[in-house]
Amino acid sequence: NSMASYVEALNGWLHNCVLLPQERSTRNRRPWSPRRVLAPPIFVLCRDWSAGIKSLPSDELSGSIKGFSLDMEMLCEEKGGGSVLVSDVSSVHSSLAKLLERLKKFSEASLRMYEDV
């Protein structure tokens, strides 16, 4: 989240530093786009980077991390009582597998995004 906020702020700051080109006609009022006008590459980079970060499946990964953390917490509490059930260990195993799958999906999406940028 902090990296996404940083890139979004950087992108906004760059756009505030640019004088918008004057439109010749008022009929086709499209918003200014770094790709429409030959802008410095930093504009395109920041815009694409910001859009790419927002498209990453970070919410899914965050949910899996929280689920695994809760399962581990429950397992540790029960271990203090003396006995650990097989179903509890199975629950931790499945949440860890889910976490690793989401982490793999997130890293693949991140790699694709950075290659595109």
Q: Which two tokens stand for residue 98?
A: 């889910």
Q: Which one, of 106, 96, 93, lies nearest residue 52 by Cα?
A: 106
Amino acid 17: pLDDT: 77
Residue 105 in this model has a pLDDT that exceeds 90: yes
76-94 mean pLDDT: 76
Q: Which of 71, 54, 72 has the alpha carbon at shortest distance from 1?
A: 54
pTM: 0.68
- pLDDT tens digit string along 14-62? 878 766 556 565 566 566 565 555 667 888 888 888 899 989 999 999 9
pLDDT, greater one: 89 or 59: 59
Q: Where are the alpha helices (DSSP H) in the chain?
A: 2-16, 41-55, 58-81, 86-116
User: Domain extents for the chain?
Assistant: 1-55, 57-117
